Amino acid sequence: MEISSFTQTVDAEFAPKSTYLNTASCGLLPRRTVEAVKALVDENAAGAVPGGGNFEVVDQARARFAGLVGVGADRVATGSSVAVHVGLIAASLAPGAEVLVPEGEFSSVVGPFAARGDLRMRYVPLDGMAEAVRPTTSLVALSSVQSADGRLADLDAVRAAAAAHGARVLLDATQSAGWLALDAGAYDYTVTGGFKFLLCPRGTSFLTVTEEAQETLLPLYAGMMAAEDRWGSVYGPVERLAGTASRFDAAPAFLAYHGAERSLALLVEIGIDAVHAHNTALAARFRSGLAGIGHEPVSGRTAIVAVPGLGSREPALARAGITVSDRAGNLRAAFHLYNTQADVDRALEVLAG
């Protein structure tokens, strides 16, 4: 998308009232998304929508997400959170299976495995993940971009090591999908929360599963959403599960998905490459500016910038109308398509002062 078209589209969709640098916690909703949610609320209040929403819109959101991550819609399941999807995968592992995860990984990626109590958990530094895969490893689970500090994993090395030892890979793309290109088909599983860089309302999440991995994944949420014939499976056990990844669907929150379909359509219109160029340029400007005022951010080229030990400045920035996060003692700023160079410079000004 050309710069002028990019700017016009963003200006038409967003009007933040503060310097919002916190997309790694929650993205801002586009205007079209807000309108879609409000419309469904009004229709529900008037009794105009049987069941509270439209399953076809959920499937449209599924298809839009599939297009963004390079797989067919038949490989995508919908849900409400990353933990829901990871719990499904955790439940499908054999007792004693070894799960390899990075130290300090986001709890939704780790917790469902650890909570089982009968899996062998191994925690290693992020930069040692590939070397830590061994013949006894069943699953490698990690985020593409770390929530706490924005580090990007060496995904090529991890995939190669896992393939060499017959292990599957689960990738959490929550902190990257929406600004970083993703080939979801290269992983056995991907999980993505929609409410950050995908700009969806909370209550939307996506699971992608390869055909091979689908064979061993348990359809624990086998209600009508998981059926080949949804409306013919309202009562009693589902006689025929869907032949696609939708058999792993959890019941949708219609308000969230009616909004998500609009948010994902916006990202498709703009293009991930354009968002990537915009976000990473702002992050690079912020990293350079931080170094210029005596702070050393975590090195990298992602849209998330973290400064170790500076998390205590978050309240002061908030008082100045700048929204960031304090994560694991890091000051964390995240840049997305509604941010500008002026936002970067404003944050640097307050930090310098």
Residue range 22-50: mean pLDDT, rounded? 96
Q: Report yes or no: 300 and 144 within 8 Å, Cβ to Cβ.
A: no
Which of these, 113, 156, 173, 106, lies nearest to 138 by C-alpha position?
113
pTM of the model: 0.96
- Per-residue pLDDT band for 50 (boundaries 50, 70, 90) equals confident
What is d(CA 68, CA 195) in angstroms, rounded to the nearest whole number? Answer: 15
List residues bridging with 304 in a β-sheet.
334
The proportion of the chain whose per-residue pLDDT surpasses 90, expressed as a percent, equals: 97
- Per-residue pLDDT band for 51 (boundaries 50, 70, 90) equals confident
Residue 186's CB is within 10 A of a number of other CB atoms, namely: 15
Which of these, 106, 172, 107, lies nearest to 139 by C-alpha position?
172
The pLDDT tens digits of the residues spanning 61-87 come to 999 999 999 999 999 999 999 999 999
Q: What phi and psi, each to the nearest 5 degrees, are found at residue 271?
A: 95, 135
Crossing angle for the helix pair 254-270 and 55-69, to the nearest 10 degrees: 30
What is d(CA 198, CA 23) in angstroms, rounded to the nearest whole number? Answer: 10
Residue range 135-163: mean pLDDT, rounded? 98
What is d(CA 236, CA 3) in angstroms, rounded to the nearest whole number? Answer: 55
Which of these, 192, 154, 151, lies nearest to 27 by C-alpha position?
192
Mean pLDDT computed over every residue of the chain: 97
Q: Which residues contact 311 (CB under 8 A, 6 or more apart)?
A: 325, 326, 327, 328, 329, 330, 331, 332
The pLDDT tens digits of the residues spanning 207-265 come to 999 999 999 999 999 999 999 999 999 999 999 999 999 999 999 999 999 999 999 99
Crossing angle for the helix pair 3-13 and 254-270, to the nearest 10 degrees: 160
| pLDDT higher than threshold 80 for residue 127 | yes
- The pair of structure tokens assigned to 188 is 């056995």
Residue range 192-200: mean pLDDT, rounded? 98
Triad 106, 194, 21: Cα angle to 5°: 75
Residue range 12-18: mean pLDDT, rounded? 95
